[in-house]
Every structure is written in structure tokens, then in C-alpha cells.
A and B are shown apart, each in its own frame.
Chain A
Amino acid sequence: MQSSAKYLTRKGWYQTAIIAIIGGTYILGSWVLNFDNLSGLMAVPRAFGWLGINFQPTAKSVEYLPKIWQKLMQTVLLAISSTVVAAIISIFVALIGSKVTGINGFVQLIVRGIASFFRNIPLVAWSMILLFSFKQSDFTGFLALLLMSIGFLIRAFMEIIEDEASETMLALKATGASYFQVIFQAVLPQILPSVLSWILYMIENNVRDATLVGILTGTGIGFIFDLYYKSFRFDAAGMTVLSIIIVVIGLELISNQIRKVIL
């Protein structure tokens, strides 16, 4: 009784100390950088005001819509195709690399290494590196998104396999089923909903990222935004951003519906 009360008191002190350290770091940081908190805070509404005025699509910017729409669809399709190809590659790599279905410890280590290598190089860096070999084209963007997605999906799929399939896998192994029978009859059907859910998430994510990649590789919606922005046609740039937001929200709604049906 005594010791548990003591433990809770100590825990309270720890929490206070942690909050004090975080707050202290902030104050110290703004003092060192001469950051004026008040005017920083005041600038936020002004910045949004400026955005609202300058980036507001006008009646004139509607004429940009067909061009924007065409490029946007190009970008969405790029995101979808790169995600789907990445998913197909990742599922096989995840199967040979996961702890429950994997071949051996060495292969598992290599797969983990590859996944973390692809994942931990930023998307921007991938695009820049690939630009040298593949020039300014849609294919460069496709490859950058593909490599990044592979890194994420391998890791996600391996964890899904380990969490969801190990028990059924054991049951089928006990019936005398062979490795491939177990994979196709137990593991894949069992993990399918989670895998689809991750693929849908990755598509949404890649549509957003494709915009950034487009700025760097000079393709798709990113290029158009960059073009309007740098030629001071802010209303058209605003229109572009608005279109992206609408499409991304639309995709999210669709994939939520798909999730509801499959899960």
C-alpha cells in the first residue's frame, strides 16, 4: 500500500519534470533564436488572409480547369499504378521475409534491410537521384513512388503476416499441407482485408506525394502548380490546390466505402 502510493507520487513528479523540460527547451530555444512569440502568433492570421486574397480562384481561373483536370487525372493514375505494382512486388517479398512464412534468418535480414533502405531515403532524394537516369518524365515519378511504396508496404505486409496469419498457418501445417498450399489457402485469404486496406491508404498517400514529385520531375499536377506559381498566376495555382484537395478527399471517401465492404 505504502509503496504503491509512493510509486504514484514519484510518477507524478516525473510527469511534471518532463513537461517542465519540454517547456524550458521551447523558451530557451526562442530566447537563443530571438523568436518573438507574440508577433509570430499574430502573423498566422495575416498569412492566411494573404493566402485567401491572392490564392483565391477567380471567375477567370475556371478556364484553367480542363488543363488542371487532365494533369490531375494523370497524377492520380500514376499514383494508383505505382502503388499496385509496388503491392504485387511487396507481397511476395514480404512472404519470403516475414518471421512466420520466411525462408530463413538470413533472407529475413536482407528483406528487412532492403525495406528499410527504400523507406528511409526521402521521396525527394529518390526523385533527384532518378532524374539523372530517367530525365524529366512520368516514368521517373513512377519509379520514385514505386521504390518508396515498396519500402513501406514490405514492412507493413510482414507485420500483417506475423500478426494475423501465424495461428491459421500452424493449423494447416499440422494437417500435412505443403508450404505453397499453406500460403495460398491460409495466409493470403487471412491477410487480404488488411493488405487491401494498406494498399488503399498507400494510394491516397501517393496522390499527395505525386504532387511533390511532379514539381521535381516536371510532370503531372505538380508541374502545373509550379508553373502557375512561378509565373505569379496565383489564382490558377489556388485553383490547382483546390482541385487536389477535392480529389484527395474524394479518394478517401471512396476507399473508406471499399474498406467498409471488405472488412
Chain B
Amino acid sequence: MLEVKNLDKSYQKDHPALTNISFSVKPGTFVAIIGPSGAGKTTILRSLNQLIKDDNGEILLDGSNIRSANKAQLRKYRRQIGMVFQNYNLVERLTVIENVLHGRLGYKSTLAGVFGRYTQAEKEEAMSLLKKVGLEDFALQRCSELSGGQKQRVGIARSLIQHPKVILCDEPIASLDPASAQTVMQLLKDLTEEYNLICVANLHQINMAKKYADQIIGIRKGQLVFDEAADLLSEDILRTLYDQDITKELE
């Protein structure tokens, strides 16, 4: 269970980026956060694993507060929270399997991590995850040789090997073509069910959110204006969210 209570954040004084955001997500749920650019979607996502330090509020993962954790505790929380990025953020020069194994670093001693010493079990798990995302033949290829959709699937495998409770996706399909976008979204949805994960994704594509997400959170100017099951998203709500009619997107 992921609970966010009264989250506040401002980058400049008197210009709040987030005000009083509260929501909760049950395991096995795919949540989409939608809203105009600059509304604060990325800020919410990045404060969930404290890449951005928020100003006030509580973030509870299974009842324990991530916000008040010290450095060592924060590392332990972070390894339970996978993250998928718009630009994939892989080490392009390394092979696919090395990038997947990076997800294990949070569990290793500093020295073993520095020299990239992974156990046999970890390597085998990396291979089976690559099989799951359909890239087992690419394990020894450099990431720079992959297409965007393939890179994103490597990113997903990297987050899965963390054995996460939560996966955060920051615009996961914004740089992908429509076909790869469908593959990635379907993969995320299937994995959410299979591993009973909490998957939180920032999305610009409302039709994708409606199609794949179980729960939709709408953010406008740093405030939460909608938090319901995906079926309840209506034209009226979209109009208030984006300040204009966007009927076409829903179809």
C-alpha cells in the first residue's frame, strides 16, 4: 500500500509546485497521473522515491515513512521502488545484461557493486527477466544498438530485478512510436498484475491512460483535481484539467 498525505513542494518562494496532494494506491494497481505540462506530475513521481526532496507531508510505503528516512534507510526504500524513464537512462556503452544487473546494486556491498561482481543467481534472474520482456537474444548486445522500445524494455527489466513493490514510470512512452508504446504499456499492465505491483506512470496520452490504467489521478497547477477509477474519467473532468475541450483524445 502506497499512501501520500498532504504533500507540498515549492521550487521558488510563493510559487508552489504541489499543494496538499493526497492519494493512496493498493498493490496490483496501475495508476496513471495525467495533467498539462508543468502541472507537477514529474515532481510527484520523483518525490515518491525522494529524488526530489519535497517540503512537507508524508509518503508511506506499507506504513513506513520514506520522507523521514536517513541516507542508509533511503537506499533500502529506493531498492524497493523501481523507476523507468522517458529517455531510458541506460548506460549505452554497456551490454543489455549489465544494465539489467544494475538493478541489483542496491542490494550489494559497495565493493562488490563497484567491481560489478554479481552472483550466479542474479545473472540467471536477469536472463529470465530478459526473456519475460522478450529480449533474451539481445543480452550481450550494447544498449546503444537497440531501438527505443527495446531500450525501454531493458529499463523495465532493470526495475523488476530490484524485486520492487512500486514501479515509477516517468513518461515511459513519450519517445516511442505507437506500436512500441502499446507493447510497453501492455507489458507494464501485465507485470503489475503478475507481481502484484503498484505501478505509477506519468502520461500525456489520455487514451492510453484510459485503456491501461486502473486508477487515474489528475493534476492541475499542482493540485489534485481527480482521483478515481479509470472508467469515471469524463469529458467534463478533462475540460477542467486541460482548460479546453479534448473529446477526440478520449475516443
Contacts and interface: CB of A to CB of B under 8 A. Distances in A.
Contacts of B81: 174
Most B C-beta atoms less than 10 A away, residue of A170, A174, A183: A174
Contact of A190 (B82, B91, B110, B115): B91
Given A180-B110, A190-B91, A172 B51 contact: no
Nearest to A174: B83
A176 interface: yes
A141 B60 CA distance: 61
Contacts of A172: 102, 105
Nearest to B71: A178
A203 B26 CA distance: 59
Interface in A147-190: 167-168, 170-178, 180-186, 189-190
A170 B51 contact: yes
B105 A185 contact: yes
Interface residues of A, number: 22
Contact of A168 (B83, B90, B113, B159): B90
A193 interface: yes
A254 interface: no
A172 B221 CA distance: 30
Interface residues of B, number: 35
Given A168-B89, A185-B114, A175 B78 contact: yes
A185 B100 CA distance: 12
Nearest to B104: A175
A190 B93 contact: yes
Given A171-B83, A171-B85, A185-B113, A176 B93 contact: no
Nearest to A263: B93
Contact of A176 (B75, B90, B115): B75
B88 to A, nearest CB: 8
B93 A192 contact: yes
Nearest to A181: B113
Nearest to A164: B92
B93 A193 contact: yes
B27 interface: no
A181 B110 contact: yes
Contacts of B79: 175-176
Contacts of A192: 93
Interface in B38-66: 49, 51
Interface in B193-224: none
6 contacts: A175-B82, A175-B102, A176-B107, A177-B105, A178-B110, A185-B91
Per CB-CB distance, the 8 closest pairs between chain A and chain B, nearest first, are A176-B106, A176-B79, A171-B89, A177-B105, A181-B113, A176-B78, A174-B83, A176-B75
Interface of B: 49, 51, 74-79, 81-83, 85, 87, 89-94, 102-103, 105-108, 110, 113-116, 155, 158-159, 162, 168
